[in-house]
Amino acid sequence: MAETGRTPAGDADLKSPGRLILLGDYEAQQAADNLIHFPPAELSALGVFYDQIRFMREWNETEDTAWNNLALLSTGNRKLDAFDLALLRRDLQVAKNMELLTVLNGRREIERGRELEVAPGPSRADYLQYMCQRVTAERA
């Protein structure tokens, strides 16, 4: 694209990071003042865990915005000017940075969740299949 200045086809497969991490149960327990019954060390560990989840939610939303901006530039064989290319490069870098933060911290959060016995919510098989499917010749 940088050589020709032309955008990819309008059906380019730009995937967003998808679903948000759910915090509702923890926030409901906070609102009901039920967390005061936890031992201080465990309450602190839970606080750290859910604070990190909140950061990850923000990173997810920022990455999603970057991918949405990139999709706007994918209007199909449109000539990009220097400003468009600068925006594209910026949004691509933002998406990469947010993904990196999410992946690195996600591993830590999974381990923390296991230690705290915080059960993850149910997976959506349809979404996982969509995100993990191989690109076919028709979509390439």
Q: How would residue 135 be classed by pLDDT, with cut points 50, 70 and 90?
A: very low
Residue 138 banded pLDDT, cuts 50, 70, 90: very low
Q: Is residue 1 part of a domain?
A: no
Is residue 35, in this structure, part of any structural domain at all? yes
Contact assessment for residue 19 and residue 124, using Cβ atoms and an 8 Å cutoff: yes
In-domain check, residue 55: yes
Per residue in 13-37, pLDDT (tens digit) is 555 445 555 678 888 888 999 888 9
Interval 84-112: pLDDT, tens: 889 889 999 999 999 999 889 988 888 88
Is 138 inside any structural domain?
A: no
- Whether 10 maps to a domain, the answer reads no
Which of the pair, 80 or 130, is modelled with greater confidence?
80
**67, 102 in Cβ contact below 8 A?**
no
pLDDT of 43-56, one tens digit each? 999 899 989 988 98
- Indicate whether 51 belongs to any domain: yes
Domain span at residue 79 reads 24-132
Does 123 fall in a domain?
A: yes
Q: Stretch 44-71: mean pLDDT, rounded?
A: 89
Based on the structure, what is the number of domains in the chain?
Answer: 1
